[in-house]
Each structure stands twice: as C-alpha cells, then as structure tokens.
Structure 1
C-alpha cells in the first residue's frame, strides 16, 4: 500500500485578502511590510485562480 503525502492546506483567497488588508495601517503600507505584502498578493492571485477552477 502506497501512502500519498498530504497536500499542505493553502489559505483561502478570503484569508489572504484579510491578511493583506491588515498590513495597511491607517491606509498606509509601512515600508517594512512591502515584501510580505507582495508575497501575499501573489499567493492571493494563485488562490483566486484555484478557487475559480474548482467552481468551473
């Protein structure tokens, strides 16, 4: 019997969107948060595509 490795669960687009919004303090993105912001946006876009593919 072959075991398949478990897929790591990815955060939903909604969860990533909430994390993105939380970085914006008073409508301003702090300079030290830009790297994290950029990665979250990339991850959010991938999550959106995955969710759209599931819905189709």
Structure 2
C-alpha cells in the first residue's frame, strides 16, 4: 500500500489572494458558509505569515463596519 505525499503548505500570499477573492465575490457581506470558509482561510494565513505567535492568538475575523 502506497501513501500519498504530504501536501505542501500554501504560501501566505496565495491564501491572502483567496481571502480577497472571497470578500470581493461576497461584496463584503459574508453568508454563514462563506464566513466559515473565511475563518478557515484567516487561520491558515496566520499560520503561513510571519506574524509572531503571540499576535496570532489575538487575530479576530474581520467584520464589515457597515453591517
């Protein structure tokens, strides 16, 4: 039985582009399913970026101030 090779982590810039695309598609108002995906992407981005671990714990999902 052969195992699949482990997937390489995506660069932070790639994850950031996906976050931006999600926000643009939604017009800034995320549906519940999009919000869940946004939180997943934000956590992935934080893991991939050069943010110190003590600041990573304080990152909160962005919400539009107009809502």
- TM-score norm. by structure 2 comes to 0.55
Once the two structures are TM-superposed, the CA of residue 27 in structure 1 deviates from its matched residue by 1.9
Once the two structures are TM-superposed, the CA of residue 7 in structure 1 deviates from its matched residue by 4.5
SS of the residue aligned with 1:38? helix
Match for residue 14 of structure 1? Answer: 13
Give unmatched runs, 5+ long, in structure 2: 53-67
Q: Matches of residues 1-56 of structure 1 in structure 2 within 5 Å?
A: 6-24=5-23, 25-49=26-50
4+ residue segments displaced more than 2 Å: none
Choose between structure 1 and 2: higher helix proportion.
1
Give unmatched runs, 5+ long, in structure 1: 1-5
- TM-score norm. by structure 1 comes to 0.64
Once the two structures are TM-superposed, the CA of residue 8 in structure 1 deviates from its matched residue by 2.2
